Amino acid sequence: MLNLIIAAVQAILQVMVIVFFGFCLTRMGYFNMEKQKWLSKLNLVFFTPCLLFSNIASTISFEKLLAFWPIPVFYVVFGILNYICSQTTTRVLGLNAAYRRFVLACVMFSNTNSLPIATITSLAVSEAGKILFWNADDTQESVAARGISYTLFFAIFGNLVRWSYGYNLLRKHHDDDDDDEEVVPPMLITPGYNYLSTNNASPSSASSLSIASEADLEHQPDRRLSTLTLAAQADDPKVVDETTGLLATFPTYPALSPAQEASGLKNSLYRLALRFHKFMSPPLYAAMLALIVGLSPLKAVLYDPSSFLYPSFTKAIEICGKAAVPLILTCLGAQLTCIARSQHTASPAVKKPVAVAIGCRMLLAPLFVIPTVVLFVMYGAKWSTLATDPVFNVMMIVLGSSPTAINLVQITQVNNIFEDEMLRMLFWSYGVVCVPICTLTVFIALSIVAKLL
Q: What is the pLDDT of residues 131-145, one digit of tens each?
A: 899 988 899 889 998
Quote the CA–CA distance of 399 and 166 in Å, as a whole number.
18
Quote the CA–CA distance of 310 and 304 in Å, as a whole number.
6
pLDDT band at 87 (very low <50, low <70, confident <90, very high): very high
Beta bridge partners of 110: 404
Of 415, 407, 426, nearest in space to 342 by CA = 426
Amino acid 260: pLDDT = 66
Check: CB of residue 369 under 8 Å from CB of residue 401: yes
Return the ∠ at Cα 324 (arms to 322 and 329), rounded to 5°: 120
Quote the CA–CA distance of 204 and 208 in Å, as a whole number.
6
Check: CB of residue 366 under 8 Å from CB of residue 443: no
Check: CB of residue 423 under 8 Å from CB of residue 105: no
Computed over every residue of the chain, the mean pLDDT equals 79
Amino acid 246: pLDDT = 37
Amino acid 82: pLDDT = 96
Q: SS3 sequence, 17-84?
A: HHHHHHHHHHHCCCCCHHHHHHHHHHHHHHHHHHHHHHHHHHHCCHHHHHHCCHHHHHHHHHHHHHHH
Is the confidence at residue 106, as pLDDT, over 90? yes
Amino acid 195: pLDDT = 34
Longest dimension (CA), the chain: 81
Letter for the amino acid at 127?
E
Return the ∠ at Cα 288 (arms to 282 and 292), rounded to 5°: 140
The mean pLDDT of 297-309, rounded to a whole number, is 93
Of the two residues 289 and 200, the one the predictor is more confident about is 289
Amino acid 267: pLDDT = 86
Phi and psi (nearest 5°) for 301? -70, -40
Check: CB of residue 1 under 8 Å from CB of residue 451: no
Amino acid 287: pLDDT = 80
- Where do the structural domains in the chain lie, given as residue ranges? 2-184+281-452
Amino acid 284: pLDDT = 75
Crossing angle of helices 48-59 and 282-294, in 10° steps, is 20
Amino acid 306: pLDDT = 93
Residue-wise pLDDT tens digits, 235-266: 444 443 433 333 344 444 455 566 666 777 88
The mean pLDDT of 427-448, rounded to a whole number, is 90
Question: 121-130, 163-172, 238-247, 377-386: which range is least confident on average?
Answer: 238-247
Residue-wise pLDDT tens digits, 65-86: 788 999 999 999 999 999 999 9
Contacts for 313-322: CB closer than 8 Å, 24+ residues apart: 314/54, 317/50, 317/53, 317/54, 318/50, 318/54, 320/46, 320/47, 320/50, 321/47, 321/48, 321/50, 321/51, 321/52, 321/53, 321/54, 321/55, 322/51
Percent above pLDDT 70 for the chain: 79
Residue-wise pLDDT tens digits, 162-204: 877 888 899 888 766 554 444 444 433 333 333 333 333 433 3
Of 114, 15, 112, 153, nearest in space to 325 by CA = 114
Quote the CA–CA distance of 214 and 277 in Å, as a whole number.
12
Is the confidence at residue 97, as pLDDT, over 70? yes
The mean pLDDT of 423-448, rounded to a whole number, is 89
Amino acid 177: pLDDT = 54
Amino acid 193: pLDDT = 35
Fold of 2-184+281-452: Na+/H+ antiporter like fold (1.20.1530)
DSSP 8-state class, residue 190: P
Amino acid 257: pLDDT = 64
How much is the pTM? 0.69
The mean pLDDT of 300-319, rounded to a whole number, is 94
Amino acid 256: pLDDT = 56
Residue-wise pLDDT tens digits, 3-29: 777 777 777 787 788 889 988 999 998
Quote the CA–CA distance of 211 and 208 in Å, as a whole number.
8
Residue-wise pLDDT tens digits, 339-360: 777 666 667 788 999 999 999 9
The mean pLDDT of 229-236, rounded to a whole number, is 40
Of 295, 4, 283, 250, nearest in space to 131 by CA = 4
The mean pLDDT of 52-72, rounded to a whole number, is 85
Check: CB of residue 134 under 8 Å from CB of residue 121: no
